Structure 1
Amino acid sequence: MEENRSFRVLATDGCRLRLLDQETYEPVVTANDDHDAPVADLHPGYRIDADLDWSTKEPTVRSLSVRRRTLYTFADHVEPVFEAAQRTWNEARTAGDSMNSRVTRNTDNDVNGVLYVFAEDELGGLFGTFRDGSRPLDPLVDKVNEQEGDDDRDVFVLRPANEEFVIVTIALQKGGQLAETLRETYNCPRPSESLA
């Protein structure tokens, strides 16, 4: 059985994909081979429409089209924590809140991103739930797209080395100065993208 649905790519391992169904927010893990579409060219964060063939033990991708080329980047044990994130977290703690947010601005005072901080849970698992999709990033990205227009973004999920919070930063301009600064600071090279 094949059905065209919308998915967010969460992870890639060779040709095996971890996808998040955009209607149900349920994860889907595909087979590692026998795909009829160029799945090796996908990256975490991409929004795709895909036909999955469920007639085998693990679904295979029969066809796909890329709707958005947003990139998700995850970095653990990062340091240093950039000033806006630390300040936003300090404000949350002072207010007794477990999360906080703010817009970020460049040196010309133009808005260049949105920053969220979330208290890490006692087991240190919040970062992992963002990564595996059990706590989807889509509502945060969708909120930005509603305000700024539906576009490709760079989304960074960072867990500081010596802090008890997780940072989610959505750069409004994919490949822009904010995104490139975060990539350079936290050693997160931009992947080579071949799909248009």
Structure 2
Amino acid sequence: MTPTTSGRFRVLGRPRDPGELLLVSVGTIEGGAAEHATEPTFDPAYVGMTEYSGDLADDVASLAAGNLIDATLAWDDGEPRFSAVDVVADSAFEFYDDVTGIFEAAKETWMVAEADNAAMHGRVTRNTDGEPNGALYAFAKQSGARDLFEEFRTGVTPLDPLVRRADEGESVPPEAEQARAVFVLRPIDEPFLVVYVVFRSDGVLAETIRSTYDPSVG
């Protein structure tokens, strides 16, 4: 019998090969009840995307970086394959390198980190009505061999702890009810890296960031 693994995963896209998806285990929470929660392990798995059929083939082909999914993986000869997949949240992870004209809120967040002699600082941002619309983090660019941008992109350093803070600490609907957009921005002319967890993937703030930093928009 082929062994299987079922759980909740974050899709991180195709950082290694276009024919495989990188998944990271993020645990499972059913109905928000603590007794049904499992601690995330952030274990990575590269899962092949080809040679599926029917509805499963369509479901696998539609997966994109940032999606939160419940999936069953079948391990055939040590290689994982999807045997079932269900999208929990159509969230998006978007990575933009060498950006220019970084927005003032990110600069201000980094200035607080510098003043505190800290490697990272975070803050909640709000819309014009005073409602929380995102969680903004500024990280010091790493010296030497470390590349924090690539670590986030490939799951070496998981983004999910930053995403989960919103579910735990802010008065916004959970991710399963309101998909997130997570932007990782590396400015070309600033000493910091930005991670912006936007609480609505289809909201005005997310679209503004895309139109500003995505070269394919506009």
**TM-score strictly above 0.5:** yes
TM-score scaled by length of structure 1: 0.89
Note the 1:140-179 alignment, pairs <5 A. 140-146=162-168, 147=170, 148-151=172-175, 152-179=179-206
Q: Deviations over 1:74-131 (max 9, x none)?
A: 1111111100001110121122111111111223443221100111110350111111
Is residue 2:143 matched to residue 1:122? yes
Three-state SS of the structure 1 residue aligned to 2:118 is coil
| 1:69 to partner: Cα distance | 1.1
CA RMSD of aligned residues (A): 1.8
Deviation of the 1:58 alpha carbon = 2.5
Secondary structure at the counterpart of residue 158 of structure 2: coil
Question: 1:57-68 counterparts in 2 under 5 A?
Answer: 57-68=78-89
Question: Tell me, which stretches of 5 or more residues in structure 2 are unaligned?
Answer: 27-39
CA offsets, 1:36-92, max 9 Å, x none?
Answer: 522110011111111111113521111111111111101111111100001110121
Matched-pair contact (CA < 8 Å) for 2:49–2:60: no
Q: Is the 8 A contact 1:183 1:189 kept in 2?
A: no
* Residues 141-175 of structure 1 deviation map (CA, whole Å, 9 limit, x = unaligned): 11101222312111101111112211011111221
Question: What's the % identity of the aligned pairs?
Answer: 39
Deviates more, 1:4-13 or 1:127-136: 4-13
State the SS of the aligned residue for 2:13: strand
| CA distance in 1 between partners of 2:10 and 2:88 (Å) | 10
* Aligned twin of 1:194: none
Instruction: Count residues with an aligned counterpart.
Output: 190
Residue identity in the other structure for 1:56: D
Task: Give me the whole-angstrom Cα distance separating, in 1, the residues matched to 2:186 and 2:84.
Answer: 35
Q: Tell me, what secondary structure is at the counterpart of 2:174?
A: coil
Corresponding residue of 2:29: none
Normalising by structure 2, what TM-score? 0.81
Once the two structures are superposed, the pairs formed by residues 30-109 of structure 1 within 5 Å of their partners are 30-35=47-52, 37=56, 38-109=59-130
Deviation at 1:137, TM superposition (A): 0.8
Answer yes or no: is the 8 Å Cα contact 1:14–1:40 preserved in 2: no
Q: Secondary structure at the match of 1:29?
A: strand
The 2-side partners of 1:176 and 1:32 are apart by 30
- 2:214 alignment counterpart: 187
- Is the contact made by 1:33 and 1:60 (CA closer than 8 Å) also made in structure 2? no
Alignment-mate amino acid for residue 18 of structure 1: L
* Equivalent in the alignment of 2:42: 25
Q: Match for 1:135 among 157, 171, 194? A: 157
Quote how far apart the aligned CAs of 1:181 are: 0.5
